[in-house]
Structure 1
Amino acid sequence: MFRSRANEEKATTSKVTSGPSQQTRDPQAPKGRPTPKRSEAQSQRRRAVTPTTDRKEAAKRQREVRRVDMAKQREALASGDERYLPARDKGKARRFARDFVDSRWCLAEFFLPLAVIILVLSIVRIPGVQSIALLLWLIVIVLIVIDSAGIWFRLKKQLNERFPNEPKRGVVAYGLMRTLQMRRMRLPKPQVKRGERP
């Protein structure tokens, strides 16, 4: 019950030497180095956490890198260079969808100009003109829906034939969204002429 500490240490060392070759450090044994003061330990921790460079300098460098990346992206949107395009425009399937849409006339690209004309006609206080504007509005919507459905099916078929093993999720919708933009305002800029095979 009241054994001395020296006897306990002898017993544990004899157990360790007689046991397996693995040696475990005794928690009571000294660790071989002095315990650092709290102030020293805290200062070492702070040095490890704080970055070596100035925070303002790092932010300035980051802004510069972002500016260069944006400039490359703008050039790529104008030239069609795949390397620097945004992620939503990258890939062979999306390039084909852009060329497919750009190579044909689409009713949806004339939606905005037609909408402005119809809006002006509907403002006119003549009942006959207003009814014509309403009829035009319905005809334009129906024609755009029919044209878009045709583009949807043709584009989907072409994508399945040309890119059977590539992921095509969202590519058809991407192409249809492009039809809603006027040709000269599309980004990336059209790389094919109308009537040219993509």
Structure 2
Amino acid sequence: MFGSKKSRAEDETSASQPVHDDLSEEADARRDAEAKKGRPTPKRSHQESARRQPLVNKDRKVANRQAKEQQRQERDRARIGMMNGEEKYLTRRDKGPQRRYIRDYIDARFSIGEIFIPAAILILVIAFTQPVQIQQYFTYAVWGLIALIVLDGFVLNYILKNRLRNKFGEVERGITFYAVMRSIQLRPLRMPKPQVKRRQYPE
């Protein structure tokens, strides 16, 4: 009886021995492969989950680049719209039908103030290159030009207020300063850009 039990245990031990040997050989082979690569071999489930993960960093960079490009296009569009006098892109200073009317009227006429900046540059050059006697004559000319600009400003203010009352029924505050400042600027440098030709007065 005892002999049969002992022989049965020996048979079970000998049968399980090849299985353990196979497992140990497989583990040794896996360790050898990991040692050659310098890192452990990831499991298949980990590899599949890594492939399914979105490329967040790459997508974020693309989104940021697209957002910057869109902002740049919007800024360019706003700048062009402001230069062309489009109402929604204008600043508070330039918005409104009365301000547009003033711009069109001033851009259609010739204002004495338009020659003030070129005259000032000419006087500055003469002050450093010509004798004192000639400088005095140009000084008188500058004072005369300033007087004409002031007189032209009064005339412009009177005409514009009458036109604005007839067209809109009332006159907004601050239009005198707005009109005079635009009238003394060189026509190509005015912002928003002139939308009418010379003598093309608004109705």
- Which TM-score applies when normalising by structure 1? 0.63
Q: 1:163 to 1:182 in 2, by over 3 A?
A: same
2:175 matched residue in structure 1? 171
| Aligned-residue CA RMSD (Å) | 2.6
Equivalent-residue separation in structure 1 for 2:70 and 2:91 (angstroms):
16
Shift of 1:96: 0.1
Structure 1 gaps of 5+ residues are 1-58
Question: Which of 105, 110, 119 in structure 1 is aligned with 2:115?
Answer: 110
1:20 matched residue in structure 2? none
1:50 matched residue in structure 2? none
Equivalent-residue separation in structure 1 for 2:189 and 2:78 (angstroms):
16
Tell me the secondary structure at the aligned position of residue 108 of structure 1. Answer: helix
Matches within 5 A, 1:1-198: 67-164=72-169, 168-198=172-202
Equivalent-residue separation in structure 2 for 1:142 and 1:66 (angstroms):
47
Deviations 1:131-178 (A, max 9, x none): 11111111111111111111111111111111115x612123212111
Identity %: 36
Equivalent-residue separation in structure 2 for 1:184 and 1:150 (angstroms):
23
Deviations 1:54-100 (A, max 9, x none): xxxxx999977764553232111232222222222111000000001
1:25 matched residue in structure 2? none
Deviates more, 1:168-177 or 1:150-159: 168-177
Equivalent-residue separation in structure 2 for 1:191 and 1:125 (angstroms):
41
Q: 1:63 to 1:91 in 2, by over 3 A?
A: farther
Q: Is the 8 A contact 1:73 1:86 kept in 2?
A: no
Q: Partner letter of residue 155 of structure 1?
A: L
Tell me the secondary structure at the aligned position of residue 138 of structure 2. Answer: helix
Higher helix share: 2
Equivalent-residue separation in structure 2 for 1:172 and 1:127 (angstroms):
38
Equivalent-residue separation in structure 2 for 1:87 and 1:174 (angstroms):
12
Q: Partner letter of residue 187 of structure 2?
A: R
